[in-house]
Amino acid sequence: MGTIALEALQLIATLGIALSLVAVVASQRPAWDAALAESRFGYGLVICATIVLVKLVEDVLGGETSVLDRSLLLGLHETVPAVWETAFGAITLTGSFAFLTGACTLAGVGLWLRGSRANAASLVLTPIAAGALIYVAKALVDRPRPTLWPTHQYWGSSFPSGHTLAVAAVATSAYLVAGSAGRKPAMVVGAAGTLWVAAVGLSRLVLGVHWPSDVVAAACAGLLVGAACHALVIRMSAPRARGRSATSTRPPNVPDVR
């Protein structure tokens, strides 16, 4: 029990440090890139996710989360009724690569047709980048999946949770895309996305195919992937947008002397 308490205290301390940095960043009004929908809190979340992810990767590689992971997973298994597994099995399907790429492609086509090409590219790129990261991470971190009770067999290492990472990445990208339409749409999409990530992450635990640290680390990594993809696309499209703006504002019949 002492080991579990120590691991829990270490995780709480890490979260405390990360949240403190979030508060500092939110109070300083950093004049950084607008890729996170001009949200200071968004930058704070990126810092928080990075710190927690680094800590969890370090602990997982060192085998320091095993006792706490096992205790939490067994406790959840004893709490959630077995009849709910079918519902959680359906929820977990929304985190599959096929579902996410299909949904993002359809949404991307709709945005592209409406002239929002940067946002369309962001949504389409995100699940692809997330899938690549998942493949590499699972190849590098050979962590056995839980075998605490009979479960469905999935490909690859337990770390990280691929479903959770991909959903977190897409949800983050969708939130940032919604930010271009205003604060209210972003808040609605952000709330829905948070619930979606939590539901998929919980489903992976209820089904017994991941450790809790796999899910938390995946959620943090997914947030970073979604933010990075959106920032990259916006940065790449910004010069073109500025060029079109400069051309459109030049008076007629005035030659470009640059």
pLDDT for 72 beyond 80: yes
Higher pLDDT, 13 or 174: 174
Lowest mean pLDDT among 26-35, 104-113, 201-210: 26-35
Structure tokens at 69: 């992971």
Domain range 2-237, CATH architecture: Up-down Bundle (1.20)
Q: What is the pLDDT of residue 171?
A: 96
Tell me the pLDDT tens digit for each residue of 191-226.
Answer: 999 999 999 999 999 999 999 999 999 999 999 999
**Long-range contacts, 13-19 (Cβ 8 Å, 24+):** 14/51, 14/52, 14/55, 15/48, 15/52, 17/51, 18/47, 18/48, 18/51, 18/52, 19/48
Band the pLDDT of 16: cuts 50, 70, 90. low
pTM here? 0.78
Band the pLDDT of 49: cuts 50, 70, 90. confident
| CB neighbour list of residue 128: distance below 8 Å, 6 or more residues apart | 101
Q: Decide: 158 and 151 in contact? Cβ < 8 Å.
A: no
Look up residue 115 and give its amino acid. Answer: G
Q: What is the pLDDT of residue 29?
A: 45
Band the pLDDT of 239: cuts 50, 70, 90. low
Band the pLDDT of 39: cuts 50, 70, 90. low
Band the pLDDT of 30: cuts 50, 70, 90. very low
pLDDT for 32 beyond 50: no
